[in-house]
Structure 1
Amino acid sequence: MTSLTPSKITVNGERLWQSLMDLAEIGAYHDERTGLRGVNRLALTDADAAGRRQVIAWMEQAGLAVRIDQMGNIYGRREGTDPTAAPVLTGSHIDSVATAGAFDGCLGVLGGIEVIRILNERGITTRRPIEVGIFTEEEGVRFGTAMLGSAVAAGRLTVEYAHALTDRDGRTLGGELARTGFDGPVEVRLVAPHAYVECHIEQGPVLAEHGVEIGVVTGVQGISWQEITIHGRAAHAGTTPTHLRADAGLAAAQIIVHLRSLVDSGDYGDLRATVGHLIVHPDLTNIVPARAEMTVDLRNPDDAQMARAEEALAAFLHDLEGSQPGLSRTTRRMARTAYVPFDDGVQKVIAQAADDHDLAHVSLLSGAGHDAQEIAALCPSAMIFVRGEYDGISHNPREYSTPEACTHGIDVLATTLLRLANQG
């Protein structure tokens, strides 16, 4: 470390923005509902592979040494002056949902690379190495488990379990890693970094409501994903009396209404419940559905209240089976993560960096899941939130954060990483 190390860093906002826009061209599509250009880069599709190759090229141009692990997680490393020191890790993901915008996950990855560029251009060295990571299948929409790559890297899930997961077409994650060329040779379990910091768009309205640019994230609420399949009996819509039906579609609707009643009751804390996927079979106008497949997403910042809500749902499903003769159901756990508090010390470094950049900030809990909650099991971790427009809408082509807001967030990230990387 040199005595010329600055107390804070500002990044090249125009270059950062251009990187975001260039990556958004990979997997771009025209969204008919909004009339806007969106992004579709599901994990380990051809579009995701093309995005990965582009970001690897940017990493290498920035002088980072790139490695790929057995989960396809990608790390770019900038060495520090102490080769024995644990690195400071930053990053996020570049896979998307099918109807995404340009910022979710990508800001954290490309912002990390922009930090490296600025350090290089200014000739700034750090005691500790700095690494920029890209985690595989953070969204969980293709293989059914969110934060998958980071969960394996942190040791919560095994690589064997992850490789065997299948998408709706029966393709395995392990097979898709091999097909796209991202079945890396490096051991997936991360050696504990010194710290982890992730910069991400907020995906909510809190920062805009408070009129501030920066969120210091205190933790991530618990998340429960289940897949429920209701088995009924197909029947003619006109000739089958109502009392003789085993209507899987009706049962699915009853589950949705019951979930809302759990939320509205107030008996389960700050519970949120969503059925984001629902399909009936045979999906014909004049046939009573024989089967309904649906997902249930529960969120709660209180683990005990989450468990009570899950128990209430399970009891309702049990009773539902007896409500119509011939009705049955199966459930499959897709994901379950507990509430994760972030490190107070890293939060303080972020808050001080925001102050030093004259950026107002608030502390807030994340309602969405992030790779940071997995890496928090290995090392002190926290997150920086950047304000979004249009009530913070995300997973949608309308997702938008201004160039100024993105630059401010990465300025805070850069200063935070610099300070953590020079800690003893």
Structure 2
Amino acid sequence: MKIVKAQDMDMKREVEYGSEEQNAAVRQIVADVKLEGDAALLRYTEEFDHVKLDAGALRVTEAELKAAYDHVEPSFITAISAAADNIRAFHSRQKRNSWMDLQPDGSLLGQIIRPLKRVGVYVPGGTAAYPSSVLMNVIPAQVAGVPEIVMVTPPATAGKQGIDPYILVAAAEAGVNEIYRVGGAQAIAALAYGTASMAPVDKICGPGNIYVALAKRQVYGVVDIDSIAGPSEIAVLADDSADPVYIAADLLSQAEHDVMASAVLVTPSAEFAAACQAEVERQLAELPRRDIAERSIADYGAIILVDSIDEGIAAINRLAPEHFELVVQDPLAYLGKIENAGAIFLGPYSSEPVGDYFAGPNHIIPTNGTARFSSPVDVDDFIKKSSVIYYSKEALQANGEMIIELARREGLEGHARAIEVRLSGD
């Protein structure tokens, strides 16, 4: 990892969302699925996943879900069940209620909160399977009251063996039983527009590769989406009270995700920076996903030297990282100064994977600096709100002339007259 001064570090990272060729390919796939439905799904599944299916085999059966339990360890079932309980408990505190407010003039104002009716969850395959992402997408939707949750995942997340059994068990533990073996941009299009086998949804969430991200961006507006996620990020602000072995391990925990993942250490101690730099190299040599992590560290890793903890916090607020660890003496004393971070981990034992898997807060967090204006996935992502306005006769008489004044200042005479006829009629 390179060591640089804060003033020499570019705090912005531009992430390109696909080449012209990738965007064109996604547009074609989405158009084909919209037009042809299942036929296009099956064709692209054979082309990209090398799995030949018929329409009747798209949906995962109850028998397959039950059989998946025979292929995972009891310890995994215990862990995923406990994690689900923690995630559900955390998100249950985010629930909102509808409200009504009766005014003295007899008018009634309020807000009705309803869950979305149907949500689609994308679970990727590829270089790694992520059962934890099943929980993080599904449980907040369930807490919000979404009655229909459908999951899609590529048909060969476990190679020729089919869908990874850990993904299926996580889905079953979360209570999802409508699952389709389809992935890529074609799965996003099917969720958005529907096919003969799959009813359309109101919102699509879940991570995926560049083709999934581009497809989500394309169908946004037909359906809602969670976000266009960039590569994973971690930033650590640590002083020399921290253990360099711990910090190096945490940096590598994100670097192993993707060659474009970003791992940044901010510290006021040159000695600590050097110790972490050496420790990253030592641990890299023993990491199973070394090739990925090594490229990430070389291209997007950095150690930033600052003059003080306060200067380090200013650097963190400019970075607005997805994951932020504050490992200094008395971290709670600085918590109020952290303005831009998706998830904040305090102290030496709050390692980032604690949040990824088990603590309860959601691990689907804004990336690429968007923590400046957006938030982790929560229950609010799966609700919709309707305003309620009941105006009494007395309220309209009292306020009608002001409404007319505002309407005419905007040149909307029809608006003004809609009020005027009621006042003149009275």
TM range (shorter): under 0.3
TM-score by length of 2: 0.24
Q: Which has the higher contact order (CA 8 A, sep 6+)?
A: 1
TM-score by length of 1: 0.24
Q: Report which of the two has the higher share of strand.
A: 1
Q: Report which of the two has the higher share of helix.
A: 2
